[in-house]
Amino acid sequence: MYDNICKILAETFPADFASWLLGKPMQLAKLEPSELSAEPIRADSLIFLESSDLILHLEFQTRTEENMPLRMLDYWVRLHRKFPLKQIYQTVIYLKPTNSSLAYQNSFAVGQTQHQFNTIRLWEQPTAVFQQSLGLLPFVVLSQTDDPEATLRQAAQKIATITDQNLQANLAAATSIISGLKLDLEVIQRIIRRDVMRESVTYQAILQEGLEEGLARGRAEGKAEGKAEGKAEGKAEGQAVAVRQVALNMLNSDIALDLIAQFTGLSLEQVQQLQQQSRENPQESD
């Protein structure tokens, strides 16, 4: 879920990410993972941006992973094979504070094979960096701030001044969800208007992700049970399954239950029941 949001932000505001990570405001275009010669490991979470002479590869993480160094080497090799003349900049960005030493690991070394990449821990980053660019603003609460609530309030005030309603809605939704990694939902809802979020493509992307998976699962379940329903009933059932799948996706991403209820339209009790069911039957949420 957070991968999807971060991906949208990076692809919408590539110059802001370039200024932050490369030190210069340059235009970068989206590079599809399908352009690599080998099958991607996690195509849904990859962020590749390219210019005429470089490629920026980003990985946003809420958790540390032991195999991250090997994965970065794997993608570097694939990228270099496809684009041998381009410089490749790889950065793993950790969103949530952790005591794990893996968050500080920035190299792979086995025998004579060595590979290095960059790591950024948002909680160590100066708050001012994220206040200067709209594309980085959704991450501001996760930065090195002494007062995250006041920091969110400042971000909300800046978002409220945006005249483009679509842009305003997208940034409000992204900021709300990402801030949920550090602040309680009640605080976020008090500061950012909740009605704006449903108008954003960020929300629609999350909904569509679950919709496609949910409809596919609904069709499979309907076929398995031999149901012969009318089109209207089938569509309604498919939508219900889709909403359920959206909620499951958000649960798997550790998003707050109240926020899941707000986004999906389910009651808090329904979300809690779904959480309990997914724990009892984990294969259903895979």
State pLDDT tens for residues 10-44: 989 999 999 999 998 888 998 877 666 555 445 44
- 34 shares a domain with 113: yes
pLDDT of residue 231: 47
Q: What is the mean pLDDT of the chain?
A: 82
**pLDDT confidence band for 221 (50 / 70 / 90):** low
Tokens of 42: 């996690």
β-bridge mates for residue 91, sequence order: 58, 118
State the average pLDDT over residues 231-236. 51
- 10 shares a domain with 49: yes
| pLDDT value at 222 more than 80 | no
What is the rounded CA–CA span in Å between residue 286 and residue 284? 6
pLDDT of residue 228: 47
What percent of the chain is helix, strand and coil (3-state, nearest 5)? 60, 10, 30
Question: For residues 28 and 60, is the Cβ–Cβ distance under 8 A?
Answer: no
Domain boundary, last residue among 93, 124, 155: 124
Alpha-helical regions (H) of 43-126 = 68-82
Give residue 23's region: left, alpha or beta (phi > 0; psi -120 to 50): left
What is the rounded CA–CA span in Å between residue 16 and residue 27? 9
pLDDT of residue 193: 73
| High-pLDDT (> 70) share of the chain, % | 75
Domain boundary, last residue among 74, 109, 124: 124
- 113 shares a domain with 23: yes
**pLDDT confidence band for 226 (50 / 70 / 90):** very low
| pLDDT value at 50 more than 50 | yes
Burial label, 64 (beta-carbon count in 10 A; 0-12, 13-18, 19+): middle
Domain range for 136 is 131-197
- 181 shares a domain with 245: no
β-bridge mates for residue 87, sequence order: 54
What is the rounded CA–CA span in Å between residue 129 and residue 218? 45
- 235 shares a domain with 280: yes
- 266 shares a domain with 214: yes
Domain boundary, last residue among 197, 216, 246: 197
- 173 shares a domain with 207: no
- 18 shares a domain with 87: yes
| pLDDT value at 237 more than 70 | no
Question: For residues 142 and 178, is the Cβ–Cβ distance under 8 A?
Answer: yes
Number of domains in the chain: 3
Closest by alpha carbon to 6, among 168, 148, 138? 138
Burial label, 192 (beta-carbon count in 10 A; 0-12, 13-18, 19+): buried
State the average pLDDT over residues 67-95. 95
β-bridge mates for residue 59, sequence order: 92
